[in-house]
Amino acid sequence: MTDDGDKKSRVALGGIGGVLAIAGAGIVSPGFKDAILAALNRRFDLDLYLNAPPWAGGLMIAVGTLLLIVAFFGQSRLERALIRVFDGRASSVGTFLAIKHVGFAPAVRDLLANELPAGHARRDLQHLTVDLSLELASTPPSLEGALAKQLRLPEQVVALLGVNPTAELGYCGIVQAPFQILAGHQLASWTRLRSFEWHRHDHCWVPLPPGAGPDLGVSTRTESVGSGADVAIAVEVSYSIDAAQIVASTPGVGSVVRVAVSAPVLDCVTHEGQVAELARQFRAALDGTRSLAAGAHVHVFCAAPMSVGIALGRMVSRTLHPPVRVYAYDLNAAKPYPWGVEINAAPGLGQIVRN
């Protein structure tokens, strides 16, 4: 019998179940019944007899067996088994922590239970909001305050979930590229991470389904823009990125590596497989910068949905790659990309980059 908090109840259920099963076997098998009754009558000087139909014995065996199963496996294991039988084989129990990342006001609403991926209806939905909107909406943006908030993210996740190998994370929200990619880097050790996109027309959260999805024609190409030692990586999914704006913001860039879909447009990412391919080619572009001269930097400019941004952050290594700086776009700033965050630097205010 496995250990559970309800051990006394389970022992009682096991005892009752055993008695019922034995009594039912006696009814179904007359020889067994007569032997037991004869032994009881001799031992206690009784005159017991039992004349019950066989179906009653079968019913007692069934009830007794059920009670023995409940006593042995416990409530938690039975719940998992029943959910898989009656709620689909892909269903799961446990915790689903939805992280909502906010960088703009007003904030979109929280994820709802009926918006969880298929098979997650029985999971305990918890929420964690990382709201940087006040800091980033100020003039000038309070980057130190926003970063200080975000650096607490891993600790908050651990505090809510503890050591919970069955927990899953969900990521949603709308925040500037440096912070979404930083979040991916911070959460890289969590293997179970599901992304959600905000449907701008239906006003709901939509989980990216598994599968390859339509071919977006993702490709990587490199162009020279100067003689600088730094490398820029432009991730072009929702929009194209102007090389002139990259150079204006980071004049030390000598080449631009473009990881792009064939026709950048809003809402083109619809499946996890598309995100995985973009992340794979981004990682290959990063790996290609490992031979940069000492002191050189990789500058990342990302025009992509949140699901892509957090996947890119999971590709950045602190030990393998040069300093990777991700920038935010601001049409009204003196430079198109006025500030950023160095993703793989030691956590702290030194990660902030201002152009």
What b/e sequence results for 89-98 when a residue is b if at least 16 CB atoms lie within 10 Å of its CB, and e otherwise? eebbbbbbbb
Confidence band (pLDDT; 50, 70, 90) for 338?
very high
Q: Are residues 223 and 319 in the same domain?
A: yes
Average the pLDDT over 269-294 and give the result.
96
pLDDT at residue 25 tops 80: no
Q: Are residues 225 and 344 in the same domain?
A: yes
Q: Answer whether residue 213 is part of any domain.
A: no
Q: Answer whether residue 175 is part of any domain.
A: yes
pLDDT at residue 7 tops 80: no
pLDDT at residue 5 tops 50: no
Strand, helix or coil for residue 156: helix
For the chain, the domain total comes to 3
Q: Is the Cβ–Cβ distance between 257 and 236 less than 8 Å?
A: no
Strand, helix or coil for residue 311: helix
Share of the chain above pLDDT 70, in %: 81
When mean pLDDT is compared across 4-13, 38-47, 195-204, 294-303, the lowest value belongs to: 4-13
Q: Is the Cβ–Cβ distance between 230 and 298 less than 8 Å?
A: yes
Confidence band (pLDDT; 50, 70, 90) for 1?
very low
**How many other C-beta atoms can be found within 10 angstroms of the C-beta atom of residue 12?**
13
pLDDT at residue 258 tops 90: yes
Q: Are residues 227 and 350 in the same domain?
A: yes
Question: What is the C-alpha separation between 35 and 255, in angstroms, rounded?
Answer: 93
Q: Are residues 188 and 238 in the same domain?
A: no
Q: Is the Cβ–Cβ distance between 256 and 243 less than 8 Å?
A: yes
Q: Answer whether residue 214 is part of any domain.
A: no
pLDDT at 124: 86
- Whole-prediction pTM: 0.74
Here the tokens at position 76 are 């938690």
pLDDT at residue 212 tops 90: yes
pLDDT at residue 101 tops 90: yes
Confidence band (pLDDT; 50, 70, 90) for 118?
confident
Terminal CA-CA length for the chain:
65
For residues 241 and 2, the model is more confident at 241
Q: Answer whether residue 212 is part of any domain.
A: no
Q: Are residues 323 and 227 in the same domain?
A: yes
Q: What is the largest CA-CA distance in the chain?
A: 108
Average the pLDDT over 219-235 and give the result.
96
Q: Which of 86, 114, 130 is the last residue of a domain?
A: 86
Q: Answer whether residue 1 is part of any domain.
A: no
Q: Is the Cβ–Cβ distance between 332 and 313 less than 8 Å?
A: no
pLDDT at 166: 75
Q: Are residues 79 and 107 in the same domain?
A: no
Q: Answer whether residue 232 is part of any domain.
A: yes
pLDDT at 312: 98
pLDDT at residue 221 tops 80: yes
Q: Answer whether residue 53 is part of any domain.
A: yes
pLDDT at 315: 97
Q: Which of 174, 207, 240 is the last residue of a domain?
A: 207
Q: Are residues 245 and 197 in the same domain?
A: no
Q: Average per-residue pLDDT in the chain?
A: 86
Q: Answer whether residue 2 is part of any domain.
A: no
pLDDT at 2: 42
> Left, alpha or beta for 74 (phi > 0: left; psi -120 to 50: alpha)?
left
Q: Are residues 157 and 242 in the same domain?
A: no
Question: What is the C-alpha separation between 314 and 195, in angstroms, rounded?
Answer: 13
Here the tokens at position 286 are 């990063």
Here the tokens at position 205 are 């959260």
When mean pLDDT is compared across 11-15, 73-77, 205-209, the lowest value belongs to: 73-77
For residues 311 and 166, the model is more confident at 311
For residues 352 and 7, the model is more confident at 352
Q: Which of 86, 104, 131 is the last residue of a domain?
A: 86
Q: Is the Cβ–Cβ distance between 298 and 323 less than 8 Å?
A: yes
> Left, alpha or beta for 126 (phi > 0: left; psi -120 to 50: alpha)?
beta
Confidence band (pLDDT; 50, 70, 90) for 146?
very high
Domain limits for position 309: 219-354
- Over its C-alpha atoms, the chain yields an Rg (Å, rounded) of 30
